[in-house]
Copies of this chain bind each other. A is one copy, B any other.
Amino acid sequence: MFLPRRILEEKLYRFLREDVGQGDITTSLTIPKRAFAEALVVVKEKGLIAGIEEAMALCESLNLKASALTLDGAPVEPKTAILRISGNARTLLSAERTVLNILSRMSGIATSTNRVVSKIDSAGFKTRVASTRKVAPGFGFFDKKAVILGGGDSHRLKLDDLVLIKDNHIKIAGSIRSIIQKARATASFSKKIEVEVPSTSDAVEAAKAGAEIIMLDNFSPTEVKETVSLLTKEGFRSRVLLEASGGITEKNVLNYAATGVDIVSIGEITHSTRAMDLSLDIVKVKK
């Protein structure tokens, strides 16, 4: 998800603009025009950092100097300084909250994603952890980037990323078989085709019809396991990816990982994020 700097900056300015409104009235009343300040962004709890690139891009484009003291994707301990920012004090203070909000939400997402990924790794499974499109509206790009930094899979960010036929498409358009055949005939060869199914038998039908990825929606771990077995038996296992989705959380994820499913997708890592606790501390001042 590489963006040229200026395109990234445009996305970040939206957040700054919303937070600044028609101007930082406190700062202009209290801080001398040319005062200089240096600050550290300090982490107050253990976790995985994300948002360093974004924070630096925003600061630098405002003519603040920014030095990363850690890397995106790196684990940190409490009380670690992760970013040094210095420059015009008014600018620094007016951007403070936006910078912190970006870092704390992205780091929160990276941290919880990584907790799930590590749990699966430690248990010796190979299952991938994917996010859903249940992001904070307007911040989806950054939510997804945080998932990747946490070791997860972005899955779709947008409706143009993948052909993903869900229950509502099937309800409107007809049988799983016919809808997959139609999609295969007309979709671009550059796109994968995934189908959401409610039952093992539908999973088999989807595999027969040529789906490349099958989403097992709201299956219990036992049902996932049976589906994996059946698809293996019928010879489809090597050419379809299986994704378990619905009701999977950090708590029950190992039960799903143990089924041999390829991917588990988890909504809570983006829709119910716990932000990382961070602060910006002024460490030097020149007036």
Contact = CB atoms under 8 A, between A and B. Distances in A.
Nearest to A178: B30
Nearest to A35: B172
A59 to B, nearest CB: 10
Given A169-B30, A192-B191, A2 B15 contact: no
A186 B5 CA distance: 22
A198 interface: no
User: How many copies of this chain?
Assistant: 6
A165 interface: yes
B138 A139 contact: yes
Interface residues of A, number: 109
A78 to B, nearest CB: 15
Contact of A190 (B10, B22, B165, B213): B213
A5 B62 contact: yes
B282 A172 contact: yes
Interface of A: 1-7, 9-10, 13-32, 35, 37, 39, 61-63, 89-91, 93-98, 100-102, 104-105, 108, 128, 130, 133-142, 153-166, 168-169, 171-173, 179, 182-183, 186-192, 194, 213, 239, 241, 243, 262-263, 267, 271-275, 280-282, 285, 287
